[in-house]
Each structure stands twice: as C-alpha cells, then as structure tokens.
Amino acid sequence: MKWLLISAALNLQITYPSQAVCNQALEQVKGQDMSAICIPAGENKMETQMNSVFTNFLGLVQELQKMELDNQNTK
C-alpha cells in the first residue's frame, strides 16, 4: 500500500511492453511483497489517434502533390 501511495504522489507510471516482461518484474517484486500483482497497461488510445491523424495528413499531402503534378503536366 505504501508503494501505491508513493507512486500516485510522484505520478510514477511503470508500464511494460508485454505481459511476459510484466510477469518477470512481478517475480522480482514478489520477493519483497507477496501481494504484488501485474496489471496490464492497456491500449494507449491517444497514441492510436495521433497515428491516425498523421496518416491522414500524410495521405492529404501526397494527394495534393499528385494534383500539383497533374496540373503541371496539363499545361
């Protein structure tokens, strides 16, 4: 419980890239605290949304470049 309070106060957000890595860390922590658990980080929706925005923007830029080339070729 102390770790949870300290983590919350310091805004520590410890996440692991996979469940396997989380379980490895859990094995190490269980030596100190048997009640420790591994909670998956979940999906980062903000990152997914940002990737979508950049992908759409890149598509728009490519489309504009194609239109510009088409205009130059018709002159």
Give the model's pLDDT for residue 54: 92
Evaluate whether 23 touches 38 at the Cβ level (below 8 Å).
yes
**SS (HEC) of 5-74:** HHHHHHCCCCCCCCHHHHHHHHHHHHCCCCCCCCCCCCCCHHHHHHHHHHHHHHHHHHHHHHHHHHHHHH
Q: What are the boundaries of each domain within the chain? A: 1-42, 43-75
Q: What is the mean pLDDT of residues 62-74?
A: 92
Task: Tell me the pLDDT tens digit for each residue of 11-60.
Answer: 666 777 788 888 888 888 888 878 877 876 766 677 778 888 999 999 99
pLDDT at site 4: 59
Amino acid 56: pLDDT: 94
